[in-house]
Amino acid sequence: MLGIMNVQSFITRQKVYYQRTNSSTDDDRIIRIKYEDLVLSYESTVEYLFQRLNIDPKNHFKKNVYFDPNRSSRNVGLWRKIC
């Protein structure tokens, strides 16, 4: 990744990426969810996604096979331990 050897350059690049992605919220084809919401509020976030995508919740089989929110919850907030 470009700028990875220069911390300030990396931070600037990440801010630009963040601003660009957040400025494109006027497209209703884009659904933004936070990783933390999916992990910590799994049921309500999945329900919201199913409603937005018009998916029948009965089609949610293999629940927790490919994504386990309990296991993933260990990764939430790890950055706080570093800073």
Number of domains present in the structure of the chain = 1
Residue 22 domain-assigned? no
Q: Which residue type is seen at 70?
A: N
Q: Is the pLDDT of residue 3 over 60?
A: no
* Residue 23: per-residue pLDDT: 66
Residue 14 domain-assigned? no
Domain that holds residue 41: 30-78
Task: Give pLDDT tens digits for 31-77.
Answer: 888 889 999 999 999 999 999 999 999 999 888 899 999 999 888 88
What secondary structure, in 3-state letters, does the chain show? Answer: CCCCCCHHHHHHHHHHHHHHHHCCCCCCCCCCCCHHHHHHCHHHHHHHHHHHHCCCHHHCCCCCCCCCHHHHHHHCCHHHHHC
Residue 64 domain-assigned? yes
Residue 18 domain-assigned? no
Residue 15 domain-assigned? no
Residue 6 domain-assigned? no
The pTM assigned to this predicted structure is 0.65
* Residue 25: per-residue pLDDT: 63
* Residue 83: per-residue pLDDT: 64
* Residue 42: per-residue pLDDT: 94
Contact indicator for 73, 64 with CB cutoff of 8 Å: no
Residue 67 domain-assigned? yes
